[in-house]
Chain A
Amino acid sequence: MRSYPSALSPDVVVLLPEGRLDAMASPGLETALASLEAQGVKQLVLNLRETSYISSSGLRVILIHARRLAQTGGGLKMCCLADKVARVIEIAGFDAVLSIFADEDSAAQAFRKPQTKI
């Protein structure tokens, strides 16, 4: 799973999962997020532009890490959701507790302005 520093801020790391984030793929997302956390990354953008589907197990991993990063003074923000992914997040009520942005730069920039949410 590819990750890279945000073009806007080197303190923000972008993670780019691909394909289905179902119960098969979620352990891979968990490993990637735990590894970034172990490297000291506190501000993370999860770019879902290449994610075609997300199930409850993918949402669970995201929720756990979003909560943990928030507790350490950082955060997890999401961007570039496909319609079907956005719909699952909405049905699950996660749009109320996670920060979701239209594009990667807006998500990265929001770490400077934590109150801004699109």
Chain B
Amino acid sequence: MTRFKLSISSEMKNLSAISDMVSNFAKEAGLSDDDTFALQMATDEACANVIEHAYNGRPDGIVRIECRLADDEVILIIRDRGQPFDPQSVPRPDMTAPLSKRHEGALGLYLMEKLMDVVQFEFDPNRGNTLIMKKKVHLEKLPVSAQS
């Protein structure tokens, strides 16, 4: 099973390092460009949300990211110890509104839900926020870890 983990401080400048980690994971797992893109984007949006909302922009929080390939499914787990996040409190954007009325909020969450099959938020007072995202992927080759 291919598995990558990263713990990093809650700073926006770390988003590119997070994206690189997802890219390295995807390469080792043998994922297609399309799936790699979807995972990178969903992780980027999720981590930016954690930094901006859960930690309110404070740079001293920790964001923990785990990528795992199990059979033909990628599981992304993102954990933080910031404020609880309730996805139901976020209205989804109206995709039919014209430019003058298009709301620019909640777009990150919308993109995550479009790109991934499962986007599930959990909050535990002792463990903080846990975001679990899943996506069925098309393996182009055997993951490096499965090659003899």
Q: Are A23 and B104 in contact (CB under 8 A)?
A: no
**Roughly how many angstroms separate A53 CA and B40 CA in the complex, as a whole number?**
10
Q: Are A92 and B37 in contact (CB under 8 A)?
A: no
**Roughly how many angstroms separate A55 CA and B15 CA in the complex, as a whole number?**
11
Q: Are A55 and B48 in contact (CB under 8 A)?
A: yes
Q: Are B48 and A22 in contact (CB under 8 A)?
A: yes
Number of residues of chain B lying within 8 A (CB) of chain A: 28
CB distance from B99 to the nearest CB of A (A): 4
**B44 at interface by CB-CB < 8 Å:** yes
**A117 at interface by CB-CB < 8 Å:** no
**B145 at interface by CB-CB < 8 Å:** no
| A23 neighbours in B (Cβ, 8 Å) | 12, 15, 44, 48, 51-52
- Interface on chain A toward B: helix, strand, loop, or mixed SS? helix
Q: Are B107 and A22 in contact (CB under 8 A)?
A: no
CB distance from A91 to the nearest CB of B (A): 5
| B97 neighbours in A (Cβ, 8 Å) | 97
Given A22-B16, A24-B13, A91-B111, residue A63 in contact with residue B104 (CB < 8 A): yes
| A97 neighbours in B (Cβ, 8 Å) | 97-99, 102
Contact with B along A75-118 (1 / 0, CB 8 A): 00000000010011001110011100000000000000000000
A residues at B contact (CB < 8 Å): 20, 22-24, 53, 55-57, 59-60, 63-64, 66-67, 70-71, 84, 87-88, 91-93, 96-98
Given A22-B16, A57-B48, A60-B105, 19 further pairs, Cβ under 8 A: A20-B15, A22-B12, A22-B48, A23-B51, A24-B13, A53-B44, A55-B48, A55-B108, A56-B107, A59-B107, A60-B104, A60-B107, A64-B104, A67-B99, A67-B100, A92-B110, A96-B95, A97-B99, A98-B99
